[in-house]
Amino acid sequence: MKKKKKTAKPSIDAVLPRFAKIVGEKNAVRGGEMEPFLREQRDLYRGKAAMVLRPANTEEVAKILALADKTKTMIVPQGGNTGLVGGQTPFDKNAIVVSTARMNKIREVDADANTMTVESGVILQNAQEAAANARRLFPLSLGAEGSCTIGGNLSTNAGGTQVLAYGNARDLVLGLEVVLAGGKVLRGLRKLKKDNTGYDLRHLFMGAEGTLGIITAAVLKLFPAPRAISTAWIGVPSPEAALALLNLALARAGTALTSFELMPRIALEFDLRHLPGARDPLSSPHPWYVLAEIFGDDETRTRELLESLLANGMEKELVIDATIAETNEQRNMLWKLRTGMSDVQKPEGGSIKHDISVPVSSVPAFVKEATAKVERMIPGARVVAFGHLGDGNLHYNVSQPVGADKAAFIAKWEAVNDAVHAIVAKYEGSISAEHGIGLLKRDLLAKAKDPVALSVMHAIKKTLDPNGILNPGKVLRAKISGGRKS
């Protein structure tokens, strides 16, 4: 019996015109025009690719993936390019980026069903505004909401500032439309809150960072828009006091407590130095701060609930001082101080970053132990640990000592990561709470994840993407190759 000859794979130059034909030449980006798609916002990675395709709809994405699977061409899906772990960046000159930016239609807002059906390229802020126009709330909220897209949010299972009350991105989805590696379309855009017909496939693709399929549309959950919002900036003596205040707030406000953010004084000082228009909300400095927000249906009752909470907190010596936003402008400024804390670290020099989570009750102990370890490793290092105390997610960042050499400090990234993540493991936490794995944490995942869980993940990847064309080398180190090695 004669063995079948393997079909020679066409060169990338030979297949590019076929890909371009699917979307039209003006939406097939080449050369220097690809630059915005090849760099991510932290400048940790600068990628390379053969072409960027900008499909207009699901059908074009399906044709792209069918051709890619047939020709074994690497595909890197990309939304708003705001990812922080390199998951959206191409690293091979033969790779093709599929940008969903043109797939930006809000297909339907169904206020009666409290759902909204959107395409993956819809910018998060536009989705929020569409919900608000229907007197509804889409509660996913994060610093990049003016540029990140729904597809990227779902692909990374984004978190944000209201996870405490509404959950992560995956908790806000009823249905998904996904294009699989071979070009078939999984059409699951249903509005059902209950559907027990076998495996819940949507959860495979949320958090998979485009390694199992490309999300092209989603049915999102909406909620009643709050009629009243009360927001407070609170000075507290310690993370332990903040944790006690959180539990007090939950006991008093329950699910009306939508946000509870923890921030150290040093983060506010960075704001005051580098954030335009920033000013200290309180008359004197405090070691730590909390930004708390309560949603309600009546302005007076909501305000009284927050005031009562603060008064009780002061009686228990959990609160040193506080201010409540009197206007929407003041509320926006308080949130600007919180959301600006990532960007204002850049002018302070190098920053070694961690997106971790531990059980909420372990946050104070983790901060104390990790900070002591980091300061022993790098005398003068400035720990900037802030984030979502309500769900145990901290952005545990370490800024370089004042006057230190940035390159020498950044060279310690791996050693600091190892030390911090060892303490995370001690508290049975996670090395990635909301940013994803991408390339930055791929090798860390192999150390931190249960071996059985990893083997299941590899099996799913091999089943859904047998030729390894979808975002190769991200999340998992590839065990199979699509022929053009990443």
> pLDDT, tens digit, for every residue of 447-466?
899 999 999 999 999 999 99
Residue spans per domain, the chain: 12-101, 106-224, 228-339, 349-437
DSSP secondary structure, 365-431, as one string: HHHHHHHHHHHHHSTT-EEEEEEEGGGTEEEEEEEPPTT--HHHHHTTHHHHHHHHHHHHHHTT-BS
Fold classification of 12-101 (topology level)? 3.30.43
Question: Residues 107-122: pLDDT tens digits?
Answer: 999 999 999 999 999 9
User: 336, exposed or middle or buried, with CB in 10 Å at 0-12, 13-18, 19+?
Assistant: middle
Residue 483: predicted pLDDT: 35
Q: What angle do CA 48, 51, 57 make, to 5 degrees?
A: 130
pLDDT bin (cut points 50, 70, 90) of residue 367 is very high
pLDDT bin (cut points 50, 70, 90) of residue 218 is very high
Residue 2: predicted pLDDT: 54
Question: Residues 38-92: pLDDT tens digits?
Answer: 998 777 788 999 999 999 999 999 999 999 999 999 999 999 999 989 999 999 9
Domain 228-339 in this protein, CATH class: alpha beta
The C-alpha atoms of residue 158 and residue 399 are separated, in whole angstroms, by 24
Other residues' Cβ atoms within 10 Å of the Cβ of residue 451? 8
3-state secondary structure (DSSP) of residue 219: strand
Q: Which CATH number is 106-224's, of 3.30.465.10, 1.10.730.10, 3.40.50.620, 2.60.40.10?
A: 3.30.465.10
DSSP type of residue 287? S
Residue 43: predicted pLDDT: 76
pLDDT bin (cut points 50, 70, 90) of residue 3 is low
Helix 12-23 vs helix 58-71: angle between axes, to the nearest 10 degrees?
170
Residue 164: predicted pLDDT: 95
Question: Residues 157-204: pLDDT tens digits?
Answer: 999 999 999 999 999 999 999 999 999 999 999 999 999 999 999 999
Do the two domains 228-339 and 349-437 of this chain adopt the same fold?
Answer: yes
- Of 58-67, 248-257, 399-408, 475-484, the poorest mean pLDDT is in 475-484
Residue 410: predicted pLDDT: 96
Q: What is the mean pLDDT of the chain?
A: 95
In CATH, the architecture of 349-437 is: 2-Layer Sandwich (3.30)
